[in-house]
Amino acid sequence: MSEIRTPKSGKAKRAVASRAPKPIENGKKTLILHGTKTSATLSSVLMELYRLKKGGAIKYSRRNENIRPFESGGETSLEFFSLKTDCSMFVYGSHTKKRPDNLVLGRMYDHHVYDLIEVGIENFKSLLSFSYDKKIAPHEGSKPFICFTGEGFENVQELKHLKEVLIDLFRGEVVDNLNLAGVDRAYVCSAVSPTKVFLTHCAIKLKKSGTIVPRIELVEVGPSMDLVIRRHRLPDEGLMKEAMRTSKDKPKKKVKNVTQDPVHGKSGRIYIPDQEIGEKPMPDKSKGLKRERREAKLKHKEEGSASKKKKASE
Instruction: Write the pLDDT tens digit of every residue in 139-189.
Output: 887 889 999 999 999 999 999 999 999 999 998 887 778 777 778 899 999
Q: What is the mean pLDDT of residues 279-285?
A: 65
Q: Mark residue 62 as left, alpha or beta (left: phi above 0; alpha: psi -120 to 50; beta: remaining).
A: beta
Strand 89-94 with 30-34, pairing: parallel
Residue 49, sorted as left (phi over 0), alpha (psi -120 to 50) or beta, turns out to be: alpha
Q: Using the CB atoms, write b or e for 239-274: b if 16+ within 10 Å.
A: beeeeeeeeeeeeeeeeeeeeeeeeeeeeeeeeeee
Residues 84-115 have pLDDT tens digits of 998 999 999 999 999 999 999 999 998 899 99
Long-range contacts of 13-20 (CB under 8 A, 24+ apart): 19/86
List the domain boundaries for the chain.
Answer: 27-236
Mean pLDDT of 67-77: 88
112-125 sheet: strands from edge to edge: 57-63, 30-34, 89-94, 102-109, 112-125, 215-233, 196-207, 185-193, 144-149
Instruction: Return the sign of the alpha-carbon dihedral for residues 141, 117, 69, 226.
Output: negative
Mean of the pLDDT values across residues 241-249?
Answer: 78
Write down the pTM of the prediction. Answer: 0.74
**Would you give the DSSP letter of residue 51?**
H
Contact 36, 102 (CB under 8 A): no
Backbone angles phi, psi at 237, to 5 degrees: -65, -40
Please, which residues bridge with residue 95 across strands?
none
Q: What is the CATH number of domain 27-236?
A: 3.40.50.10480
Q: How far apart are CA 77 and CA 66, in angstroms?
A: 7
Task: State residue 81 phi and psi, 5-degree precision.
Answer: -65, -35
Pair 204, 183: CB distance under 8 Å: yes
| Backbone Cα Rg of the chain | 37
H or E, element range at 43: helix 40-52
DSSP string, 120-164: EEEEEE-GGG----GGGPPPTT--EEEEEESTHHHH-HHHHHHHH
% of residues, the chain, pLDDT over 70: 90
The Cα 113–Cα 68 span in angstroms is: 12
20, pLDDT greater than 90: no
Among the listed ranges 21-30, 142-151, 280-289, which one has the minimum average pLDDT value? Answer: 280-289
pLDDT at position 1 is 45
What's at 265, amino acid-wise? G
Parallel, antiparallel, or unpaired: how do β-strands 102-109 and 112-125 relate?
Answer: antiparallel
pLDDT recorded at residue 4: 65
* Angle of CA points 180, 145, 242, to nearest 5°: 115
Cβ atoms of 120 and 101 within 8 Å: the answer is yes
Alpha carbon of 38 to those of 11, 45, 127: distances in Å? Answer: 38, 11, 19
In angstroms, the first-to-last Cα distance of the chain is: 126
